[in-house]
Amino acid sequence: MQANSINRQTIDWASFRQSVVAAAGNAQTIANLSPAISTALGLLGDHHSYFIRPDGSYILNPTSPGCSLDPAAPTPTVPADIGYVKVGAISGSVEEKQRYAIAMQDAIRAADSTALSGWIVDVRGNSGGSMWPMLAGIGPVLGEGTLGFFVDPNGKTVSWEYRAGMSLLDGQAVTTVPSPYTPLRPGARVAVLTDRRVASSGEATVIAFRGRPNTRSFGAATCGLSTSNGGFTMSDGAQLVLTNTVMADRMGNRYGVPVPPDEFITDPAEAVQRAIQWLRGSM
């Protein structure tokens, strides 16, 4: 944690250690350290780090904002001149992630038309998982190029991109759609729908649209876990999943906090109608 935490330069590590040791009490085994681990996760101050025990059970971050408890937005019905794409949470195997990305591009292909006023990209409720199939799947609407960055406490950046059906991390392909789709009207207007349930990799998708021309977002601010995690294997096979960078958009603006929409609209149905209005050219 001291070597890799996103907040390593601001934490008082002597005080941190005292608090964690006190929480450990008289523990004699690693299995008895759950209170100490939970205390450490909370003291990191990133709200996103967590711990996976060897049996697969979790020690969650006690300072997590609990955004998933907010009501879920219903899937809207949109008119024929509006393309609609849902970007949901995804995790699983490499094959599952590729199928997810292919299915999203297939949905874009099926909805595309020269008569479209623009696209609604609905990220509401996306609690995260892996950002790479999300970016590969929505890539035809998002457009090619650099989409954002991970930034560590020293200012070192690593880029994310979409090119030729691939999401790339630091230039290396992560998820690939073998036969990528090219929209009939590249660069069309895009309305991004957000709410507080959007977290982590879902927030990366929202950030990827920041700075894209002809793009506007509607709804509520996201959860505020716009940071990325790295995994560290412990001596007993457990995994410490530790927040080590913040997300930044293509213009270099850093987050690590809730991502605000361009237009704050608390009612989900109203956000959809306002997005349609904007896509049709009404300001």
Tell me: do 34 and 81 sit in the same domain: no
Tell me: do 62 and 109 sit in the same domain: no
The pLDDT value recorded for residue 66 is 87
Secondary structure letter of residue 32 according to DSSP: G
Burial of residue 29 (number of CB atoms within 10 Å: 0-12, 13-18, 19+) = exposed
Run of H or E including 263: strand 263-264
Q: Write out 206-254 in H/E/C secondary structure.
A: HHHCCCCCCEEEEECCCCCCCEEEEEEECCCCCEEEEEEEEEEECCCCE
Is residue 274 a contact partner of residue 265, using CB atoms and an 8 Å limit? yes
Residue 88 belongs to some domain of the structure: yes
The pLDDT value recorded for residue 283 is 59
- Name the residue among 166, 174, 169, 260 with its Cα closest to residue 218: 260
The pLDDT value recorded for residue 240 is 97
CATH of the domain at 110: 3.90.226.10
Sign of CA dihedral 151, 192, 99, 83: negative
Mean pLDDT, each 10-residue run in order, the chain (283 residues):
97 98 95 96 97 96 90 94 98 97 98 97 97 98 98 96 98 98 96 97 98 98 96 96 97 97 97 97 73
The pLDDT value recorded for residue 245 is 97
Tell me: do 243 and 127 sit in the same domain: yes
d(CA 19, CA 44): 12
d(CA 229, CA 226): 10
Domain count, the chain: 2
Would you state the structure tokens that stand for residue 129, as one six-digit string?
């998982």
